[in-house]
Amino acid sequence: GGAYAFDGTVRFLFDQNKEDSFVGTFTTPEAVIDGEVRLTYVANESLAGKPLFEGYACDLVPNKLTVNGSLADRASDLLLAGTFKLELKNAATFNFSDQYTASNWPGVELNFSGTLCNEVNNQLAGTLRFEETAFKKFRVNVGYDLTSDGVQRKISLNATSANESEIKIGIISDWGPAQLNMNLGFTPGFLYDNGFGDLKVGTLSTLSGNVLVKGVEVGEICLHETFKVPMVKYHDGTSETF
Asked if residue 30 has pLDDT above 80, the reply is yes
Do 72 and 106 touch, CB atoms closer than 8 A? no
* Sign for the pseudo-dihedral over CA of 101, 104, 105, 107: positive
Give the predicted TM-score (pTM) of the model: 0.84
**Residue 120 C-alpha from the chain's centroid:** 28
pLDDT band with cut points at 50, 70 and 90 for residue 56: low
pLDDT band with cut points at 50, 70 and 90 for residue 120: low
Contacts 24+ apart (CB under 8 A), 165-169: 165/189, 165/190, 165/202, 166/190, 169/209
Task: Identify the pLDDT of residue 70.
Answer: 95
Distance CA 129, CA 110 (A): 6
Asked if residue 1 has pLDDT above 60, the reply is no
Distance CA 108, CA 130 (A): 8
Burial letters 125-157, b for 16+ CB under 10 A, else e: bbebbbbbeeebbbebebbbbbeeeeeeeebbb
Closest CA to 30 of 82, 76, 69: 76
pLDDT tens-place string over residues 160-205: 998 999 999 999 999 889 999 999 999 999 998 887 778 899 999 9
Q: Are strands 5-11 and 51-53 parallel, antiparallel or unpaired?
A: unpaired
Task: Identify the pLDDT of residue 35.
Answer: 96
Task: Identify the pLDDT of residue 173.
Answer: 94
pLDDT tens-place string over residues 144-153: 998 877 788 8
Number of H-type helices and E-type strands within the chain: 0, 17
